[in-house]
Amino acid sequence: MRRRFAPALGVLAVALGAVAAPASSAPTGVTRCHPRRHHPCPKPLPHRLEVDENDQGELPKPYSLVPSHNPVAAGKVQFNVYNFGEDPHTFAVLDGKGRRLAFVKVPANQPDTAIELQVKLPRGRFTLECTLSGHAHLGMQATLTVR
């Protein structure tokens, strides 16, 4: 009996060590999530998005400005702006106080060519809009959340 018992204890000690080691060496602040359980891991937010501007919609909002992702991640954000309209437009990023952080002209008929704009954005809510007179009111405006 003794001969069998001793090796069994050894195996048990190794097993306990194997279980205990990862738990004690796990860094603090680990997100408790699992992709297939009821606490799914959140997808990382993108740092890049497409913005589609158009002036060919239907009344009462014939104009539109639609971000492909919302929210996006804080930091350097890349906007790829496309103009599906017949007229030239602009694209501006405004902070919560209406201050213009970035601006670019978006030539007409550019459905396949992105006008690229990189802006460093902190967390918060920002307004994306065409700055041409009346265009934001007609629909070329969106609120972007940055987290």
Q: How many residues bind Cu ion, per CB under 5 A?
A: 5
Beta bridge partners of 76: 120
Segment contacting Cu ion by CB under 5 A, of 6-14, 34-42, 67-75, 137-145: 137-145
46-105 binders of Cu ion (CB under 5 A)? 89
Nearer to Cu ion, 71 or 131 (CB): 131
Least distance to Cu ion, CB of residue 55, Å: 7
Cβ atoms of 144 and 101 closer than 8 Å: no
Nearer to Cu ion, 77 or 140 (CB): 140
Say how many Å lie between the first and final Cα of the chain, rounded: 64
Q: What element of type H or E holds 104?
A: strand 100-106
Asked if 132 touches Cu ion (CB under 5 A), the answer is yes
Q: Figure out which of the listed residues 65, 72, 94, 130 binds Cu ion, where binding follows CB under 5 A.
A: 130
Q: Say how far apart CA 102 and CA 123 lie, in whole Å.
A: 16
Q: Given phi > 0 = left and psi -120 to 50 = alpha, else beta, which region is 45? A: beta
Residues binding Cu ion (CB under 5 A): 89, 130, 132, 135, 140
